[in-house]
Amino acid sequence: MKKLQRIFIYTFLSLAAIVSIFPFLWMLVSITNKSVDVTQGRLLPGTHLIENMKTLFATVDIVPALINSAIIAIITTILTLLLASLAGYGFEIHRSRGKDIVFTILLLSMMIPFAAIMVPLYRMFGSISDTAPFIGIDSLGAVILPTATTAFFIFFFRQNTKMFPKDLVEAGRIDGLSEIGVFFRIYMPTMKTTYAAAAIISFMNSWNNYLWPLVILQSPEKRTIPLLISNLGSSYSPDYGVIMSAIVIATLPTALVFFLMQKHFVAGMMGSVKG
């Protein structure tokens, strides 16, 4: 009975692992094969990798899309970290009844479905397009702004600030640092791991964001990676080897971040619930 249970557990977990990994293996095999071989279900590595990459870079504007996505993700992440940590610190260290109420109200914004505000946001950015084109429709600025401050990250920083030793704040004040000085000189260096975890989550969210860029970006040269892949995926005569190459390249940054910083990654996820 015990042995049967063991066998069942290992079979079940192995099956789950195979199902989870198979699409990745298939992606990696597909980028080395010709499109025809992919459709014929070939599951062995081929020799077409370089050819696929050449075709990809020659026929698809993947480099500009990568650059756009990188610019958006990096600026969004920096803004998010700065604003959210300032706010999280303020709400926790400079606690007051008024701020607690405001904090609760801000948390409610986490329940707002994006689809519900996308039309008003689109109209809002449309109305400033003429006066400030760098944050108007079809600008990278407009992609960044609404995503750079979210209540989630404020909540995340506040939760983590609960573990920040308050004596350090007092010590900084006694040493003659201003309130802002305490934040930049003491809080920021102490909370490195929290920043790392938040940076990972923010970068991935931004890198993978689809709906808002789809709404606000129009010209092909402004396209981000998810928009490009979506476009490739809906073509009528797809070149599977090439499309899979694009998908692999797009997934590499986030996969790399995951494997290099697994601990921070999980810490980032957990930070939202603990405390």
Partner 1 sequence: MREQSTKKGELDLPVSLRYKETKRQKTGVFFRRKVGWLFVIISIIAISIFNFYPMVQAFLLSFQSGMGANLEYVGFDNWQRLFGDPTFIAALTNTSIYLLIQVPLMIVLALFFSVLLNDPKLKFKGFFRIAIFLPCVTSLVAYSVVFKYLFGIDGIINQFLLNFGFISQTINFLADPFWAKVVIILAITWRWTGYNMIFYLAALQNVDKSIYEAARIDGANSIQQFFQITVPMLKPIILFTSITSTIGTLQIFDEIVNITNGGPGNATISISQYIYNLSFEYTPDFGYASTVSYVIVILVVILSIIQFRVAGEKK
Site string for partner 1, 152-181 (x = CB under 8 A): --x------------------------xx-
Count of C-beta atoms within a 10 Å radius of residue 36: 12
* Footprint of partner 1 on 234-263 (CB under 8 A): 234, 238, 240, 243-244, 247, 250-251, 254-255, 257-258
State yes or no: residue 84 binds partner 1 (CB under 8 A). Answer: yes
State yes or no: residue 57 binds partner 1 (CB under 8 A). Answer: no
Name residue, tokens 């607690």.
100
Question: Nearest CA to 194 among 261, 257, 264?
Answer: 264
The answer to whether 246 touches 62, Cβ cutoff 8 Å, is yes
**Residue type (1 letter), 228:** L
State the nearest-atom distance from the C-beta of 57 to partner 1, in Å.
18
State the nearest-atom distance from the C-beta of 47 to partner 1, in Å.
20
Angstrom CA distances, 138 to 130, 205, 228, 234, 250, stand at: 12, 20, 15, 22, 22
Which position among 54, 96, 260, 263 is part of the footprint of partner 1 (CB under 8 A)? 96
Number of H helices, E strands in the chain: 16, 0
Residue closer to partner 1, measured from CB, 64 or 253: 253
Rounded to 5 degrees, φ, ψ at 112 are -75, 120
Residue closer to partner 1, measured from CB, 59 or 96: 96
State the nearest-atom distance from the C-beta of 221 to partner 1, in Å.
19
State yes or no: residue 185 binds partner 1 (CB under 8 A). Answer: no
State yes or no: residue 23 binds partner 1 (CB under 8 A). Answer: yes
